[in-house]
Structure 1
Amino acid sequence: MYRMTILYSPPADGDVAAFRRYYEATHIPVAQRMAGLTGWNLSWIDTPETPYILVAELYANSADAMSAILASPEGMAASADLDNFVTSPVHFLTGEEIEVRLS
């Protein structure tokens, strides 16, 4: 499994509620059009010591599959939509995910 982790910093104006409203009402529907993802998770961070407010994890079968998803018109639309609401640094981390199950 291949994962892209996206770390969102708080908006420059500090209006986390407006950021979340836009993300949930507008960005998620745009991102849901990306065919080929095998799943995704969102974690809204409430730990004040961290520099992030949201961690989004997108999953694909391989690095090549993730690249194709992001290069698709739908992937490019999701990427372009970031300019509509992101005003602080966003970090993208990619790599193979290895799941370890505890017995």
Structure 2
Amino acid sequence: MAHVVVMYKTPKDTAAFDKYYFETHVPIAKKIPGLRKYEVSRGPVATPAGPSGFHLIATLYFDNLAAVQAGFGSAEGKAAAADVQKFATGGADMILFDTREV
């Protein structure tokens, strides 16, 4: 299973971020071909030492990294990536990785 983790830094207006993210961005992102599951953090994003600089963490699941590349290379994937600039005023970091059970 491959994962895409998007870590959204705290935006200028958290209420506006949340409204746009859930009403507009999520429906766009859910159309990415090959997407198997989409999860988001609930409540504050913290560290063992206390608060973090992140507002929301999204985890998207795909069968493998080839499926991630194909999904984000599609028109739907490109639309989702381009949409991030419209609401992520604090910035966002994205990481991609494949997993194996140990």
* TM-score normalised over the length of structure 1: 0.87
Q: Distance in 2 between matches of 1:63 and 1:45?
A: 29
My pick for the range that moved more, 59-68 or 80-89, is 80-89
* Cα contact 2:4–2:97 (8 A) shared by 1: yes
Determine if the alignment matches structure 1 residue 39 to structure 2 residue 33.
no
Determine if the alignment matches structure 1 residue 24 to structure 2 residue 22.
yes
Residues 72-91 of structure 1: pairs in structure 2 closer than 5 A:
72-91=74-93
Structure 1 residues without counterparts, runs of 5 or longer? none
* Cα contact 2:39–2:58 (8 A) shared by 1: yes
SS at match of 2:41: strand
More strand by share: 2
Structure 2 residues without counterparts, runs of 5 or longer? none
Determine if the alignment matches structure 1 residue 6 to structure 2 residue 9.
no
Moved over 6 A (4+): none
Q: Distance in 1 between matches of 2:43 and 2:95?
A: 17
Give the number of equivalent residue pairs. Answer: 98
Percent identical: 34
* TM-score normalised over the length of structure 2: 0.88
